[in-house]
Amino acid sequence: MQILNRYIAKNILISVLIVMTVMLSLFVFFTFLEELKDVGKGRYDTVKALTFVLMTLPNMAYQLMPIVALLGSTIGLGILASNSELTAIRSAGVSMEQIIWSVLRIGLVVILVGVVVGEWLAPISEQKAQTMRSVAQSDHLSLESSRGLWAKDKFQYINIQTILPGRRLNDIYIYELDHEHHMTHILHAKSAYYRDDKWVLENVNHSYLVKGNVIAHHEKQHLWDTNLSPDLFNVVTVKPYALSVWGLYQYIDYLEKNGLSADKYKQSLWTKATLPVVTAVMILLSIPFVFGPLRSVGIGSRILVGVLVGIGYHLFGQMFSYVGLVFKLDPAFTSLLPMMLAILLVVILLRRVY
């Protein structure tokens, strides 16, 4: 049985990788064509456009995971069915439950890799891509590798590590120089928010350089006199889909504590949190496609049905999410209902197979 498990897993995994490669290649092609329209803005050239597209691939791969898993499993099992190998396997006494478990085992591996990519690699890569693109198109901002966002305002050189939605900044460093370009003041604030047309810095540490000595001073809050407006930072604001589940949870907590609306972030949180389960459901859905009503049709027809089902589920989920935001429905409900309907469909189709 171990040899059989490895054989089924190998076929499905190869199919999943091929499907992912094809879909990401199409994504790179069309997204790069879209980005070419912005080439020439500021310092944004063709190389930066291609770099931006490539850096967004991990996030796109994570979003495509359910559809890719469905198509990959359908194609992998469909090839085995077309070669009559599944018939031989069943004739050898292998039960349907054992085949389902073999498919799920490789599916769990795909899900685990997807979660690692989606929760660790994708948020970092997506944020850096968006920041690089926005900074390259702006004449007011610059970026220095991993040291965050840099800006200049009169005699202040400003470094911001994280720019969050809701006019919120984290880890702000301000270096002030005199007319002779000598450092006179270094300020570090743990966070900042915009209120009454002013930036309010929180947990501020000052270091004044006076005649070779350093004078330290701490403030809970400090009004920051600057010409940098929130509109300037909007271009590099972290988008909800670019945050990890933990990052979304922390930001939702911040919004709720400050009496701000967090509905769209809760929706993103539930969507990302349920994605691994949706992927498992899509993998299970491939089994009835092969053993059920589609067992007598060609591999091309199975792929077409898989594409239609995967895209249909994605569009329905997106539409229901927007409906939930408009009518103030519970984000958990709007995320779980499409998944529960998909599970119900899987149960009904599997019962027909049995």
In this predicted structure, the answer to whether residue 236 has a pLDDT above a threshold of 60 is no
Question: Does the structural domain 141-241 have CATH classification 2.60.450?
Answer: yes
Structure tokens at 114: 């997807």
Average pLDDT on 307-331 reads 87
pLDDT given for residue 345 in this prediction:
87
Distance, in Å, from the CA atom of 114 to the CA atom of 61, rounded to the nearest integer, reads 8
pLDDT given for residue 68 in this prediction:
92
Distance, in Å, from the CA atom of 267 to the CA atom of 59, rounded to the nearest integer, reads 17
pLDDT given for residue 145 in this prediction:
46
Q: Which of 126-130, 275-279, 338-342 bottoms out in mean pLDDT, i.e. has the lowest?
A: 126-130
C-alpha distances in Å from residue 82, one per residue of 94, 181, 291, 294, 299? 18, 75, 11, 12, 7
The tally of CA atoms less than 13 A away on the side-chain side of residue 191 is 8
Q: What is the pLDDT confidence band of residue 61, given thresholds at 50, 70 and 90? A: very high
Distance, in Å, from the CA atom of 21 to the CA atom of 326, rounded to the nearest integer, reads 36
pLDDT given for residue 220 in this prediction:
94
In this predicted structure, the answer to whether residue 27 has a pLDDT above a threshold of 80 is yes
pLDDT given for residue 232 in this prediction:
66
Are 298 and 285 contacting, i.e. CB atoms less than 8 angstroms apart? no
pLDDT given for residue 292 in this prediction:
61
Are 123 and 247 contacting, i.e. CB atoms less than 8 angstroms apart? yes
Average pLDDT on 107-136 reads 87
SS3 of the chain: the string is CHHHHHHHHHHHHHHHHHHHHHHHHHHHHHHHHHHHHHCCCCCCCHHHHHHHHHHCHHHHHHHHHHHHHHHHHHHHHHHHHHCCHHHHHHHCCCCHHHHHHHHHHHHHHHHHHHHHHHHHHHHHHHHHHHHHHHHHHCCCEEECHHHCEEEEECCEEEEEEEEECCCEEEEEEEEEECCCCCEEEEEEEEEEEEECCEEEEEEEEEEEEECCEEEEEEEEEEEECCCCCHHHHHHHCCCHHHCCHHHHHHHHHHHHHCCCCCHHHHHHHHHHHHHHHHHHHHHHHHHHHHHCCCCCCCHHHHHHHHHHHHHHHHHHHHHHHHHHHHCCCCHHHHHHHHHHHHHHHHHHHHHHHC
Structure tokens at 128: 């850096």
pLDDT given for residue 41 in this prediction:
84
Distance, in Å, from the CA atom of 53 to the CA atom of 87, rounded to the nearest integer, reads 44
User: Whole-model pTM?
Assistant: 0.75
pLDDT (tens digit per residue) in 278-313: 999 999 888 887 776 555 566 677 677 777 888 888
Q: Which of 123-132, 188-197, 291-300 bottoms out in mean pLDDT, i.e. has the lowest?
A: 291-300
Average pLDDT of the chain, as a whole number: 85
Domain boundaries, the chain: 2-137+258-353, 141-241
The tally of CA atoms less than 13 A away on the side-chain side of residue 114 is 28
Q: Which of 25-34, 156-165, 265-274, 331-340 bottoms out in mean pLDDT, i.e. has the lowest?
A: 156-165
